[in-house]
Amino acid sequence: MSLAFDFSQTPSFFRDETFRGDFTFENSPEAIHRFPFPFDRDQYMYAVNIEQHMPGPPKSATVFPIDIDEHYVAEMADRAKVLADDPLRCQSLPHMITAEWDLLELLMTSMARDYPEWFSLERDGARWHWINRPLGIDQRFTFGDAATLPHGPMEYITRQCQGDFCLLDQRDDNLWLDAGIVTSQADWSLDFDLGMNFIEWHGPVPRAHDMGIFDRALKFLLNLQIGRPIRRLNWTMTINPRLDTSPENYHRWGIDRTTVTPENVGDKVHLRVELQALWRLPRSNAIVFSIRCYLIKMRELVSVPKWGRRLHRVLRDLPDDLADYKGMTHYRATTLDYLSRHDDGAPTSPGFFPD
Amino acid sequence: MSEIKSRPIWGKLEPAEQAAAHLVCAEGRGIEAVRAGFGGRDGLLAQATIVHMAPIGAGKPEGLGGAAYHPHPSRATALTAFRGHLARAKMGTQVHLAGSEAFLNEATTVASACGVVGDGLTTELCGPATRRVQCVHCKGMMDEVAVSPLACSHCGVNLTVRDHYSRRLGAFMGVCVDAEAPGVLPAASRL
Ligand code: HEM
């Protein structure tokens, strides 16, 4: 796949924008409206916030199991750049090849079913024909034969699907992070965490272990059933619309956290929400964990009055250990200052959605 | 130490009376833990095979009774020998490992690849409380790190050692410590 996407050739729905360098990323009014705002009340604490991955309202981020939006083409270009610089962002232990094919099937069938104008999949036994119009890809291959694709099956399809993906092997009553592609992560390293189990890779998270959250969540996941996917939301904040906030590159992007001023806070500070979904896979009995990242600028967020009020209250009352873990120390006060001007103290309605 | 969830918990060597035989792999001063663990019990030592990473020509240490003793000059040669003995061990053999964290990490991987887990395995951490650290930026490994922060010996970035451990890499994560305030380093502290 060429690294330089030609936006003039793609349907105009997709934005021509960047997540590095000049950071031209923005949300359209429609994208702001469908943003998966993660707070259903005015405060936040860790919880086992898992629900069935059921279709949400029309046009929402959860209307389909796999969400493709206006940032699709630009995000895939950013992923290609990350992988070109650092191949260790995509790794798979040898026993995960069946799970890779399971993932390819899940993504291709979902994308072709839910976005027929962009993707199509024809299957004749093991002979498959995949068309991706936005990225200009037309590929015939044999399902189960990795030699018929230009990359391994997981890398092949996830270079064409928004979100990071992890494949978890289930054994010894635990889940093992044995494969994944991770190029838009909130400061964790696939290369470092590869081969760890659920409790180990969550090691650095404060509080949640003692609250019993990981023990309960793991128990739930071990019983995940085929055809009954689940989802949860996680969030942090990111300076500049940078997808690749990896530990690998932290010595380059960490300095951004010191650049927030009262003048630029509305454009520079982003709420970063991860829509995480989990599916049991049919052949391998592995679990796929998708981490779909959504960014929204403070300026965009306060255009929904309820969200501006609520985020102000959540950030103001967030315990310091959580704020430190999320890396907000340097710019929390400036951000609060900005948000406080969008919080008139009026009550907010329950639930995630705008009033 | 135990609050680091990703770090394996090492214990004490506890040879079981009912085991059919004992296979030991020890690194350097780990042999002292072996001696203490077997506690001079001749019956157990008579059933024991000890692979020891020790200088060539060093004689069999005191207090190991009738155990079969095999010195090997490096970690790699000791682990190769250990793997060989493991492959030919009889049913019911209990395995005992003693040495540095990096050594225990490699040796437990060898043992679990041969199906030795649970009560079939005892381990004991010996030696200095240093850590093996990987720089997350350039992926360079540094052995026997005693102090944090430190400059990466490969790429020069100033690192702090996070309490996050990868068994696969056998190392803690080193992350840039002054990214948000270049040149400003916290006071050095022992790990
Ligand atoms: C099974 C697939 C999952 C994977 C691969 C995964 C992976 C991760 C990783 C890599 C981190 C960052 C840890 C670090 O700082 O290095 C994290 C954070 C976290 N995870 Fe998970 N996770 C999974 C499922 C879950 C589930 C089901 C829950 C449910 C409670 C959960 C709750 C959390 C929480 C609360 C954090 C801290 C987030 C923050 O404060 O920003 N995770 N997860």
Q: Which atom of ligand 1 is nearest to the CA of A201?
A: 10
Q: What is the pLDDT of residues A164-180, one digit of tens each?
A: 999 999 999 999 999 99
Please give chain A's pLDDT, 355 residues, in tens: 444 555 555 558 999 999 999 999 999 999 999 999 999 999 999 999 999 999 999 999 999 999 999 999 999 999 999 999 999 999 999 999 999 999 999 999 999 999 999 999 999 999 999 999 999 999 999 999 999 999 999 999 999 999 999 999 999 999 999 999 999 999 999 999 999 999 999 999 999 999 999 999 999 999 999 999 999 999 999 999 999 999 999 999 999 999 999 999 999 999 999 999 999 999 999 999 999 999 999 999 999 999 999 999 999 999 999 999 999 999 999 999 999 999 999 999 999 988 8
- Compute the distance from residue A148 Cα to the ligand 1 centre, in Å: 35
Query: For residue A307, what is the enclosing H or E element?
Result: helix A305-317
Find the CB nearest B179 among A193, A202, A255: A255
pLDDT for B177 beyond 50: yes
- The structural architecture, per CATH, of the domain B21-125 is 3-Layer(aba) Sandwich (3.40)
Structure tokens at A64: 């389909």
Phi-psi region of B115 (alpha: psi -120 to 50; beta: other; left: phi over 0): left
Q: What is the pTM of this model?
A: 0.90
Mutate to test the interface with A, among B117, B136, B154, B155 (most CBs of A within 10 A): B136
The predicted pLDDT at position B2 comes to: 41
CA distance A36 to chain B (A): 30
The predicted pLDDT at position A85 comes to: 97
The predicted pLDDT at position A3 comes to: 47
Give residue limits of the domains in chain A: 23-96+164-340
A236 lines ligand 1 (CB under 6 A): yes
Q: What is the pLDDT of residues B53-92, one digit of tens each?
A: 998 887 899 999 999 999 999 999 999 999 999 999 988 9
In SS3 terms, B64-132 reads as CCCCEEEEECCHHHHHHHHHHHHHCCCCCEEEEEEECHHHHHHHHHHHHHCCCCHHHEEEEECCCCCEE
Q: What is the pLDDT of residues A57-74, one digit of tens each?
A: 999 999 999 999 999 999
Is residue A232 annotated as part of the catalytic site, yes or no?
yes
In one-letter notation, the amino acid at residue B116 is V
Angle at A233 between CA A227 and CA A236, to 5 degrees: 150
Q: What is the pLDDT of residues A245-257, one digit of tens each?
A: 999 999 999 999 9
Structure tokens at B47: 């059933």
Residues B14, A355: Cα–Cα separation, whole Å? 65
Measuring CA to CA, how many Å separate B128 from each of A23, A239, B23, B144, B145? 48, 41, 24, 8, 10
Nearest to A335 by CA among A284, A259, A279: A259
pLDDT for B1 beyond 50: no
DSSP bridge partners of A235? A273
The predicted pLDDT at position A8 comes to: 56
The predicted pLDDT at position A5 comes to: 56
